[in-house]
């Protein structure tokens, strides 16, 4: 059983459920799913996450990218940002204030998700973004 606390933030129930099931298969037991920015911020206040998996198209306020910024203001939590490829170029300038993040396509393949999760939870995770 893995003890890291993971917070999934998505407004798409099918994405949230798929991520939750896959993380459980890998042995993660402490997972919370939030469907909005305010719910994510409340969850992070109750139990600070070791990793946040967040869809960047989350409607706001706060939207997905603003939620990511607000979460990282609380501490250097690693982020896995799930981006729809067509939105990635427009979102790039909004990612600059973030640290410890990786971008994955939304939805990610099982291999992309596994790599992103494991690399994000490593203690030697880089402080600058890495494309997965």
Question: Looking at residue 123, what is its pLDDT?
Answer: 64
Report whether pLDDT(128) > 50. no
Band of residue 131 on the pLDDT scale cut at 50, 70, 90: very low
Report the C-alpha gap between 13 and 127 in whole angstroms: 30
Give the CA angle between residues 13, 85, 123 to the nearest 5°.
75
| Of 66, 21, 49, 31, residue with least CA distance to 121 | 49
Q: How buried is 80 (Cβ within 10 angstroms: 0-12 exposed, 13-18 middle, 19+ buried)?
A: buried
């Amino acid at each position: 059983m893995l003890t890291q606390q993971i917070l999934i933030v998505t407004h798409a129930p099918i994405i949230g459920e798929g991520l939750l099931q896959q993380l459980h298969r890998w042995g993660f037991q402490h997972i919370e799913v939030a469907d909005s920015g305010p719910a994510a911020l409340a969850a992070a206040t109750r139990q600070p996450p070791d990793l946040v998996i967040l869809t960047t198209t989350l409607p706001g306020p706060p939207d997905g990218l603003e939620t990511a910024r607000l979460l990282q203001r609380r501490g250097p939590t690693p982020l896995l940002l799930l981006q729809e490829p067509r939105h990635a170029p427009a979102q790039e300038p909004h990612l600059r204030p973030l640290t410890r993040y990786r971008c994955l396509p939304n939805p990610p393949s099982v291999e992309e998700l596994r790599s992103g999760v494991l690399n994000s939870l490593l203690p030697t995770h880089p402080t600058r973004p890495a494309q997965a």
